[in-house]
């Protein structure tokens, strides 16, 4: 029997990177996913699905690398490979009861009891299989259906001992998801007047009551370049659940803005002017994969904020995107120098710059240049105002309906001032809250209303750093003048 004598090494598999988690900039993403891969496809339609990692998202919604058809998957890819973040909330609108197509019956060669239907989106329980003798099998008893991880194609396995176990050729037909049938109307969604059921973007209102998460960034990559979709996202960001505020990350249509000077007109034509939204152009790419820049920017922003003590005070501008290039949606390469990128920024649009690697470039919300209000035009400042307001609501909601007395007032003032001071001077210059008697007339008090006045001072980004250099001739003369 062999013995061990000496020093030995064993290697363990590399651990999967743990996603950075935070609640200040949680993404809520509306789009399409290959839910045929999910255990219950119907249950993954028009509901908010919480995923703490990309792996969870793929389990709940399926995954495909065809990002143009399955738009939610680009955010899954980014969260797994570029910026590991969580949680993310996904809302899929691709409905197996509505958006489908038939796959005609055809003959397949069986090898090792398996054959492949080379189509994405095949719905398991719609697959019908017959042997050459017209013996029809039963799904789950005579055959099972799984999916190839790389292609998404349906792999049919004949069950040993089943009616089709010995077949060498079969005919099969199926029904598959058809993402091409999804329209902007499905993305925008509606509320059924009879049942109250929400679809599409309207489902965002379910996120907090169902999951206890306040949306930080809402987006629909692959769709938000359509003005009606972008404006619907902005409306939700402006006021969610009647009280909360978020940011909508929108894309500028690259089929219309094919060069950087086109972006101004396309943004204006789209009606993107809200301080609660930001626009991005063009698309980004990683190798052969093309992404809506809103998806890249949202992942980057959530990643930065999670690493910043869960405070959204940092601008994502001038941070590496983890991408390999810029392009239009059709793959046409886009290259901007700093002067051109600054021109795009001047339209109130965020773009990208290659400075020792691809960096997001731009700090403005869509309110710029029509507004000059600092709390509205700077993306990180607007995010801080949203964050502070949302935090105040959730922190003191338990005080609602308490007796309106000095104990309540002082408790809120003291607690809030202590909390705000804990973020100064790192996350903001300072903040304070006060109760003023002139803000609270007796008529308001009798009506059960109490008003506080809060002052916050988030930092603006250091967008323009300038160094004035002159020619110091005195120093030159002293160096070369010699002895007097």
Q: What is the CATH topology of the domain spanning 20-94+183-374? A: Rossmann fold (3.40.50)
Tell me what the pLDDT averaged over the chain comes to: 94
CA distances from 190 to 33, 170, 194, 198, 205 (A): 19, 43, 12, 6, 12
Q: Average of pLDDT values for 380-390?
A: 97
Structure confidence by residue, pLDDT tens digits, 131-165: 977 789 999 999 999 999 889 999 999 999 999 99
pLDDT number for residue 134? 76
**Looking at residues 392-413, what average pLDDT do you find?**
96
Six-digit token string for 335: 């290259």
pLDDT of residue 4: 61
What is the average pLDDT across 34-61? Answer: 95
pLDDT the model gives residue 15: 43
Confidence of residue 3 (pLDDT cuts 50, 70, 90): low
Residue spans of beta strands (DSSP E) within 281-364: 283-286, 289-291, 325-327, 349-354, 358-361
pLDDT (average), residues 366-394: 97
**pTM for the full predicted model:** 0.93
Q: Report residue 11's pLDDT band, with 50, 70 and 90 as the boundaries.
A: low
Identify the CA nearest to 277 among candidates 259, 295, 253, 251.
251
Q: How far apart are the first and last CA of the chain?
A: 94
3 state SS for 415-480: HHHHHHHCCCCCCEEEEEEECCHHHCCHHHHHCCCCCCEEEEEECCCCCCCCCCCCCCHHHHHHHH
- Residue 289 reports pLDDT greater than 90: yes
Position 135 scores a pLDDT of 87
- Model confidence band, residue 13 (pLDDT cutoffs 50, 70, 90): very low
Q: Point out the least confidently predicted range of 30-34, 168-172, 192-196, 328-332.
A: 192-196
Q: Report whether pLDDT(242) > 60.
A: yes
Q: What integer is the mean pLDDT of 85-110?
A: 96
**Mean pLDDT of all residues in 113-121:** 96
Listed in order, the ranges of the chain carrying CATH 3.40.50 are 20-94+183-374
């Amino acid at each position: 029997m062999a013995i061990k004598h000496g020093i030995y090494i064993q290697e363990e598999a590399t651990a999967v990177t743990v996603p950075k988690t935070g609640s200040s900039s949680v993404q809520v993403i509306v789009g399409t996913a290959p839910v045929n891969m999910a255990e219950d496809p119907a249950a993954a339609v028009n509901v908010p699905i919480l995923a703490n990692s990309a792996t969870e998202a793929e389990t709940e919604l399926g995954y495909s690398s065809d990002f143009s058809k399955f738009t939610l998957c680009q955010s899954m890819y980014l969260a797994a490979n570029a910026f590991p973040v969580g949680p993310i909330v996904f809302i899929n609108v691709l409905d197996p009861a509505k958006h489908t197509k038939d796959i005609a019956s055809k003959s397949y060669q069986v090898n090792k009891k398996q054959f492949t239907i080379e189509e994405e989106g095949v719905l398991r329980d719609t697959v019908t299989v017959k042997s050459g003798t017209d013996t029809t099998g039963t799904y789950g008893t005579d055959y099972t259906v799984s999916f190839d991880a790389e292609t998404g194609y349906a792999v049919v396995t004949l069950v040993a001992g089943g009616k089709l176990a010995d077949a060498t050729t079969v005919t099969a037909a199926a029904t598959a998801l058809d993402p091409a049938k999804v329209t902007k109307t499905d993305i925008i969604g509606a509320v059924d007047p009879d049942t109250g059921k929400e679809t599409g973007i309207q489902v965002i209102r379910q996120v907090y009551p169902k999951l206890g998460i306040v949306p930080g960034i809402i987006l629909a990559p692959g769709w938000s370049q359509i003005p009606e979709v972008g404006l619907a996202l902005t409306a939700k960001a402006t006021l969610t659940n009647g009280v909360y505020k978020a940011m909508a990350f929108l894309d500028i249509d690259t089929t219309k803005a094919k060069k950087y000077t086109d972006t101004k007109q396309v943004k204006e034509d789209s009606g993107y002017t809200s301080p609660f939204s930001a626009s991005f152009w063009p698309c980004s790419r990683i190798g052969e994969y093309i992404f809506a820049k809103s998806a890249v920017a949202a992942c980057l922003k959530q990643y930065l904020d999670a690493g910043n003590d869960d405070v959204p005070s940092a601008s994502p501008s001038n941070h590496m995107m983890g991408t390999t290039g810029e392009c239009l949606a059709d793959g046409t390469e886009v290259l901007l120098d700093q002067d051109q990128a600054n021109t795009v920024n001047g339209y109130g649009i965020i773009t990208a710059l290659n400075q020792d690697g691809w960096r997001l470039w731009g700090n403005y919300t869509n309110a710029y240049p029509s507004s000059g209000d600092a709390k509205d035009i700077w993306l990180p400042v607007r995010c801080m105002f949203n964050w502070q307001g949302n935090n105040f609501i959730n922190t003191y909601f338990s005080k609602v309906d308490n007796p309106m007395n000095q104990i309540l007032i002082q408790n809120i003032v003291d607690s809030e001032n202590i909390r705000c001071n804990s973020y100064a001077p790192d996350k903001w210059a300072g903040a304070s809250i006060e109760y003023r008697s002139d803000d609270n007339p007796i008529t308001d008090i009798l009506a059960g209303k109490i008003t506080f006045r809060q002052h916050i001072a988030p930092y603006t980004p250091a967008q323009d750093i300038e160094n004035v250099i002159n020619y110091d001739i005195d120093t030159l003369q002293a160096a070369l003048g010699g002895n007097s």
